[in-house]
Structure 1
Amino acid sequence: MAENAKLKNAKKEVVGRYQQAEKEVKKLQRELTTLEDQSKEIRKATDLAMLDFPHTDEGREYLEGYWESHLLDY
């Protein structure tokens, strides 16, 4: 009887850990999706900005500085 109780408690603990891990995976998947979306937006904006800028070192340096300062907010 005592072994059955131990097994039931162990099963509950394992199930609880598994459910918690599933929640964490879902949370991380949402965060990844958000980061992927932000990355796409940044790439689009950079491409558009490069169309407006001459392809010079000065233009690239400006954009690199802009995006670095923008990304520090995240």
Structure 2
Amino acid sequence: MTFKQIYIYELITNTIYLFVHFIFLIFQSVGLKNNQQLEMKFLHITRIIQFLTLLHIIRGKKNENMEYL
């Protein structure tokens, strides 16, 4: 992966992570109790999205290399 792809991946994943925590803080401010399980679900979803984003970047890089053949 190039530096630009790594930078884009980090930017996307950090944005998703901040968005998930922002939603979690909204739920906390509303007053939902016992929300540790909810936070774990959000973090699990975040990790899945990060993995899919990385997979998409790697697949895109692979397709770029195939075009030159």
Normalised TM-score (structure 2): 0.52
Out of 31, 35, 46, the residue aligned to residue 29 of structure 1 is 46
- Structure 1 gap ranges (5+): 1-13, 53-74
User: For residue 55 of structure 2, what is the amino acid of its counterpart?
Assistant: Q
Q: Displacement, 1:15? A: 2.2
Q: Displacement, 1:19? A: 1.3
Superposed CA offset, 1:2-38 (max 9, x none)? xxxxxxxxxxxx422x211100000000000000000
Task: Provide the aligned C-alpha RMSD in A.
Answer: 0.9
The structure with higher relative contact order (CA 8 Å, sep 6+) is: 2
Cα distance in 2, alignment partners of residues 33 and 51 from structure 1: 28
Aligned length: 38
2:33 corresponding residue in structure 1: 15
1:45 corresponding residue in structure 2: 62
1:62 corresponding residue in structure 2: none
Query: Who wins on radius of gyration, i.e. which is larger?
Result: 1
Q: Secondary structure at the match of 1:15?
A: coil
Cα distance in 2, alignment partners of residues 42 and 36 from structure 1: 10
Normalised TM-score (structure 1): 0.48
User: For residue 23 of structure 1, what is the amino acid of its counterpart?
Assistant: M
